[in-house]
Structure 1
Amino acid sequence: MDSSAPRGSWPLGKVLKVFPDKRGLVRSVKLQTKTNIIVLQLTIKPWPRTVLWGAGSTPCWRIMIVLEEKNLQGYNQKLLSFEKGEHKSKEVMDMNPRGQLPSFKHKNYVLNDSYAACMYLESQFSQGKKLIPDCPAEQALMYQRMFECLDFHQKMAIVIYYNWMVPEAERHDSAVKRNREDLSAEIKLWEGYLQKASGSFVAGKNFSLADVVFFPSVAYLYRFGFCEERYPNLAAYYNSLKDRPSIKASWPPTWLENPQGQDLLKDL
């Protein structure tokens, strides 16, 4: 039986009442048949979606936040280890020849870019939270902040992972200094955006895809020792969203196991 069928259209009888769970998914139905009233318990099949992901990866986190916001829990997922090189396994390479995570599949459609996957999910599923506003002005700001976040994340990543990305013989103190200055300027830009924002979110009064992509990068700042007092608007933004149900449900498990991060950004 299709749990998405409208009331009155089920073949066994007239629907008198539906019993949803806390996520709004129908779990049982009371029906009026020709002879009596019955209650059917429904088995919810796994969603035809698969996510191969790595803990602490901001691109992975973005997709998982959207899945939570859209009430698409119950998808197939597999946590893989970057340290063990599992992102280069045949399972991943078959979905993503770049050997990167996330790898996302819905039906026979594969989307390995987190922005593409998030926008696809929003366009295909109307349930749950609406993540792209209808208002042209709000939508324009959302897209601007959403794609601008790529600059923010790139500048943060080169500071955090400089020693991992750059061979020792090619490292220079001047490059480290320049990278940190670039990140500092970028952070000040976003601090200003949040100060002028019309609501509690990065692109308006409502949580949107801009927050989906921005929050994981902000969380990374604090994971690496970023000072809350120096940038009060960023701190307020982080603290207001870190307990949002979709974010808590998808919080990196390695961060839960080891809440104490590093202090690489404490002086930024």
Structure 2
Amino acid sequence: MAKEMTLLWGSGSPPCWRVMIALEEKNLQGYKQKMLSFEKMEHKSEEVMKMNPRGQLPAFKHGEHVLNESYAACLYLENQFKSQGSKLIPECPAELAMMYQRAFEGQTLAQKMADVIYYNWKVPEGERHDSAVKRNREALSAELKLWEGYLQKGSGCFLAGKCFTMADVIVFPTIAYVFRFGLSEERYPKLAAYYNCLKDRPSIKKSWPPTWQESQGQETLKDL
């Protein structure tokens, strides 16, 4: 089954990482894969564009089925391989509702994170404003405090109930990313506890971004 799969990915990309975590959780090792460089613009290569005309990573294919949106790929893998590996979608209605809510809420967290971390890259120099930087940082701080509160009310290491679910597959890479960029563990202790609880989970450890192992993180978010 895994031999029929191909994944083109970039190191450190949360969307790529969550697909890799899902593949590990479903015991789908042995798929064809290729790490590409964002810095070298390899995500715009002909190889990628054939699978994903948006020129983005991940680019994922199973047989003739192409899924380039990471949420779609993760949900597809769980649906197609329900009886294999970890069960990522709970049956309990309350946990199911919470899983979907947190998973899709993760998009807002990821966007607000990107607005801060990639502001100078996305916005031309002549269009940058200190007021926008301040506004984006305040929005991300408020969002992180919301997630800190979610974890304060929850129990254990997981976002949606007592077990690792699709919500964790989807959101953990974003949480790891904010700590990679210097978020204070003391200021956000529940988020830090969540991060530290899951970072050694086999699926996460095995798919850990190789470039993160080779270099230090940044301090963009240290004062947030």
Q: Which runs of 5+ in 1 are unaligned?
A: 1-44
Determine whether 1:57 maps to 2:16.
no
RMSD: 0.9
**Alpha-carbon distance in structure 2 between the residues aligned to 1:46 and 1:124:** 12
**Alpha-carbon distance in structure 2 between the residues aligned to 1:85 and 1:226:** 28
**Alpha-carbon distance in structure 1 between the residues aligned to 2:157 and 2:119:** 33
TM normalised by structure 2 equals 0.98
Describe how 1:1-268 pairs up with structure 2 within 5 A.
47-125=3-81, 126-258=83-215, 260-268=216-224
Structure with greater strand percent: 1
**Alpha-carbon distance in structure 2 between the residues aligned to 1:187 and 1:83:** 28
**Alpha-carbon distance in structure 1 between the residues aligned to 2:58 and 2:2:** 19
Partner SS, residue 47 of structure 1 = helix
Identify the structure with bigger relative contact order (alpha carbons < 8 Å, sequence gap 6+): 2
**Alpha-carbon distance in structure 1 between the residues aligned to 2:117 and 2:155:** 31
* Percent identity over paired residues: 74
**CA deviation profile, 1:154-204 (whole Å, cap 9, x unmatched):** 000110000000000000000000000000000000000000013320111
TM normalised by structure 1 equals 0.82
Partner SS, residue 74 of structure 1 = coil
Q: How many residues are paired up?
A: 223
**Alpha-carbon distance in structure 2 between the residues aligned to 1:196 and 1:160:** 28
Q: State the 1:47 CA deviation.
A: 1.8
Structure with greater helix percent: 2
**CA deviation profile, 1:218-259 (whole Å, cap 9, x unmatched):** 11111111110011101100000000000000000000111x
